[in-house]
Amino acid sequence: MYHIKLLAAASIDGPAGPLTGRAVQRRRLALLAILATGQARGRGVGREKLVAYLWPEADSERGRPLLSDSVYRINQAVDGEAIIAMGDELRLNPDIMSSDVAEFERAVEAGDRDRAASLYTGPLLDGVHLVDGSEFERWIDGERARLARAYEEVLDVLAQEAESRGALSEAVTWWRRLAGHDPFSSRVALRLMHALAAVGDSAAAIRHAMTHTTLLREELGAAPNVAVVKLAERLKAEPTEPPLAIEQPVAAPPVVDPVPAEVRVAVATPNVLPVVARAHDVVVPAPRRRSGALGVLLAVVFALLIAGAFVLERSSPVLDAPAASIAVLPFTDLSPAKDNAYFSDGITDELINTLTHVEGIHVAARTSAFAYRNGRSDVREVGRRLGVAKVLEGSVRKMGDKIRITVQLANAADGYQLWSESYDRELTDVFAIQQDISREIVTVLRARLVATSPVRFAEQSR
């Protein structure tokens, strides 16, 4: 039995381990992604539609042989009929090949939200793009948005169910995951803050408010949400304890996000269609107040602790990030004409995709890293927000028929540069250059992050 992992970094796992070679070239991964979404609904996909998505420059007469060759290569790699024909439609054979996408959708439909939450690890085919496949890009944008929306609803329900059971720590976990998925949503930020305060961690709630408002201001140029600011101020002034039980829930005022959801999502997840979260009333336990001299003393101590938390937040950007964790920020196009963004994004995607095949390295998702396309954020701030220990930046400069790629590896804890290198190439085969340089860079990074871990270089092609 083979299993396709399509959520986040794509791979095909079999009895002998991950597949490499022609079966995992990006256009064939795209084919599998289309068929996997069909598998989730119990239906196939027409050949004409597949050709239009994957080989738009070819007519039916030339496109069908290309499709047949891809089907043959995949079936050959798994030594079986993983892709079967039913009339003029193709579909995945569930007896030979399963997919995380189909399993996720079935779990959502069955109401198995815990399983659905565990299956969703990132956007569909994160980092895989077809330069000449505009129809495919439109299709995958819609699918990414649809799956992301389903994931958000799963987390939202799980968090509220945990609150209704009085499982406040569990609720914090789900709200944290939702806040990480949609960091620009003030509604989610407020729910997380309430949950943190309810378990007695008001300091974490205040830190999250600060992080959220900073993100809105620096990335979207938006004013902080009034309800978030007011709650943070109240938590600074009124220390709370973990409640013994949920006695009298208090509904917080409705929260209106300072920017439209479509703007938030466009920044947080490039190439993903708008995802609008559902509106829910905020229900939290009523905090208990201290009174008298003891309450005043505790308030003073709490204020000092909060002040220390603010200092810690600024001075120690990365507290718990794994040592072998990295974010690859979008490479900057330094060409005079600024017309090589496609190459800059391509080399970034190739690096993210290749790094995910290195065992032991944790790589920030493409959608999270691409939120920093403007290149103005401090490395320490990036590390804190994305939860990584290292940050890789780079630039691309085209000079005639030559191209120079420069990379720098920085330590997110202090912002100091750890390594840098430049690569010069003749601009011939763009994809070959991206792949070649990515492998060289990843080889160096592997030695610096996890020297003993193997790397499986998946063949990529158009």
Place of tokens 């300072």: 258
Residue 120 lies in a domain: no
Domain boundary among 81, 97, 115: 115
| 456 Cβ contact list (under 8 Å, min separation 6) | 18, 20, 357
Claim to verify: residue 282 and residue 408 sit in the same structural domain? no
Residue 333 lies in a domain: yes
Give the per-residue pLDDT at 188: 92
Task: Residue 101: name the closest of 129, 141, 143 by CA.
Answer: 143
Handedness of CA 190, 195, 201, 202 (dihedral sign): positive
Q: Is 325 helix (H, G, I), strand (E, B) or coil?
A: strand
Task: Residue 126: name the closest of 148, 151, 96 by CA.
Answer: 148
Predicted TM-score of the model (pTM) = 0.56
Q: What whole-number distance in Å separates Cα of residue 53 and Cα of residue 24? A: 17
Residue 269 lies in a domain: yes
Give the per-residue pLDDT at 280: 35
Q: What whole-number distance in Å separates Cα of residue 323 and Cα of residue 113? A: 31
Claim to verify: residue 207 and residue 285 sit in the same structural domain? yes
Which residues in 329-456 belong to E strands, given as ranges? 332-333, 362-363, 390-399, 402-411, 417-426
Claim to verify: residue 288 and residue 179 sit in the same structural domain? yes
Task: Give the CATH number for residue 200.
Answer: 1.25.40
Q: What are the angstrom distances between the C-alpha of 75 and each of 23, 95, 232, 327? A: 8, 13, 57, 35
Residue 459 lies in a domain: no
Give the per-residue pLDDT at 313: 43
Claim to verify: residue 307 and residue 387 sit in the same structural domain? no
Q: How many domains does the chain have?
A: 3
For the packed helices 100-110 and 26-40, what is the interaxial angle rounded to 10 degrees? 20
What is the pLDDT tens value at each position of the chain, 462 positions in all?
889 888 887 888 888 888 878 777 888 888 888 888 887 777 788 888 888 888 888 776 788 888 889 889 888 888 888 889 888 889 888 889 888 999 999 999 999 999 999 999 888 888 777 777 778 888 888 888 899 999 999 999 999 999 999 999 999 999 999 998 888 888 999 999 999 999 988 888 999 999 888 888 887 788 888 999 999 999 988 755 444 333 333 344 445 555 555 444 444 444 333 333 333 333 333 333 344 444 444 444 434 444 444 444 444 444 456 788 888 988 888 877 777 777 788 888 888 888 887 878 888 887 778 777 765 667 888 888 888 888 898 888 887 778 888 888 888 888 787 888 888 888 777 777 777 788 888 888 877 776 544 444 444 433
| Paired tokens of 272 | 């993903």
Compute φ and ψ for 333, nearest 5 degrees: -85, 110
Handedness of CA 107, 8, 33, 74 (dihedral sign): negative
Domain holding 10, by residue range, is 2-115
Yes or no: say if 458 and 357 are a contact pair by the CB < 8 Å rule: yes
Task: Give the CATH number for residue 42.
Answer: 1.10.10.10
Domain boundary among 100, 115, 130: 115
Claim to verify: residue 221 and residue 358 sit in the same structural domain? no
Residue 64 lies in a domain: yes
Q: What whole-number distance in Å separates Cα of residue 154 and Cα of residue 116? A: 7
Handedness of CA 170, 198, 239, 311 (dihedral sign): positive
Residue 265 lies in a domain: yes
Yes or no: say if 432 and 425 are a contact pair by the CB < 8 Å rule: no
Q: What whole-number distance in Å separates Cα of residue 347 and Cα of residue 127? A: 10
Claim to verify: residue 190 and residue 298 sit in the same structural domain? yes
| 423 Cβ contact list (under 8 Å, min separation 6) | 404, 405, 406, 407, 437, 440
Cβ-based neighbour number of residue 132 at 10 Å: 11
Yes or no: say if 448 and 441 are a contact pair by the CB < 8 Å rule: no
Task: Give the CATH number for residue 433.
Answer: 3.40.50.10610
Residue 454 lies in a domain: no
Claim to verify: residue 205 and residue 291 sit in the same structural domain? yes
Claim to verify: residue 273 and residue 390 sit in the same structural domain? no
Task: Residue 45: name the closest of 85, 2, 100 by CA.
Answer: 85
Q: Is 251 helix (H, G, I), strand (E, B) or coil?
A: strand
Claim to verify: residue 226 and residue 352 sit in the same structural domain? no
Claim to verify: residue 173 and residue 293 sit in the same structural domain? yes
Claim to verify: residue 293 and residue 359 sit in the same structural domain? no
Kindly provide the b/e burial profile for residues 297-310, where b requires at least 16 CB atoms within 10 angstroms of the residue's own CB. Answer: eebeebeeebeebe
Domain boundary among 272, 287, 315: 315
Task: Residue 47: name the closest of 69, 25, 29, 18 by CA.
Answer: 69
Residue 23 lies in a domain: yes
Claim to verify: residue 99 and residue 212 sit in the same structural domain? no
| Dihedral in degrees, nearest 10, Cα atoms 85, 87, 88, 91 | -30
Task: Residue 349: name the closest of 428, 270, 424 by CA.
Answer: 270
Q: What whole-number distance in Å separates Cα of residue 259 and Cα of residue 446? A: 40
